[in-house]
Amino acid sequence: MRCARGKHFCHWRTGGTALRFAAFAATLLACASLAFAPVALAQEPAFGVRTAYAQLVEGVYLLNTRLYLPLNDRMRSAIKDGVPLTLELQIEVSGARRYWTDETVASLIQRYELQYDAVSDRYVVRNLNIGGQSSFPTLDAAVEHLTRVSGLPVLDRALIDRERRYEFAMRASYDLGSMPTALRMLMFWVEDIHRSSEWYTWPLLQ
C-alpha cells in the first residue's frame, strides 16, 4: 500500500501484496465451501412419522400416514442377506377429561415385515396383523410401500362423544432381525438393530 504525503487517502499498488492476499482468501473460501457441502448433502431425515391424519369413512376413522425410514449400507446389506426388518406402529386415541387424566379410547399395534426372498429375487412386505403380502423388484420400492400406510381402521365413530376433545398419537419402531427382548434392550445403542421414533400427535376433527 502507498500513501501520498499530505493527503488523506491511500491506494493499493496494482499487482502488489493486497491482490495476492485477496486471491489467497478467495481460494480459502472456495475450499471451505467444498469441504462443508458434502456434510450438508449427506444429512438425511431421521426415522419417524412424517405426516399422519385420520379420515372418517362410513362411520370408521381410517389412518393415513407417511414415514421416514432411511437405510444405511449396513442395513441394506443385512436385508439383502435375508435378515427381516419388522416395522411396528403404535396408535392411541385419547379423550380429554376435565378433572381427571385423559382416557384412552382406542389403541392399536400394527406390524409389518420386510424380507428379501432369494428364490424369487424379490422383496416381500407382509402385514403381520392380517396376513396379506406384496412383493417388489427392488428394496427402495419395497420401502416406499412399507412407509405409506393408507386406510388403516383405527376407531369406530360410535365411541366418540361429540362434546369431548380427542387426540391421536402415533409412534413407529423397527427391529432388524429377530432377537430376545432382553438382548435388544442391552443393545439399545445400536440404531441399525432397533429404533423408536418420537410420538406424533394431532387432534381428531369431528
The phi, psi pair for 184, rounded to 5°, reads -65, -40
Most confident residue range from 42-56, 133-147, 161-175, 185-199: 133-147
Q: How many angstroms separate the Cα of 70 from the Cα of each of 42, 60, 171?
A: 12, 32, 16
Mean per-residue pLDDT, 20-48: 47
Q: What's the rounded Cα separation, in Å, for the pair 199 and 90?
A: 9
| pLDDT for 14 | 42
In this predicted model, what pLDDT tens digit does every residue of 51-77 receive, in sequence order?
999 999 999 999 999 999 999 999 999
Residues in CB range of 165: below 8 A, 6 or more apart: 95, 96, 203, 204
Residue 16 pLDDT grade (very low, low, confident, very high; cuts 50, 70, 90): very low
Q: What's the rounded Cα separation, in Å, for the pair 52 and 149?
A: 9
Residue 15 has pLDDT above 70, yes or no: no
For the chain, the domains span: 2-42, 48-203
Mean of per-residue pLDDT scores for the chain: 79
| pLDDT for 120 | 96
| pLDDT for 43 | 57
| pLDDT for 177 | 83
| pLDDT for 103 | 82
In this predicted model, what pLDDT tens digit does every residue of 114-132 receive, in sequence order?
999 999 999 999 999 999 9
Q: What is the pTM of this model?
A: 0.72
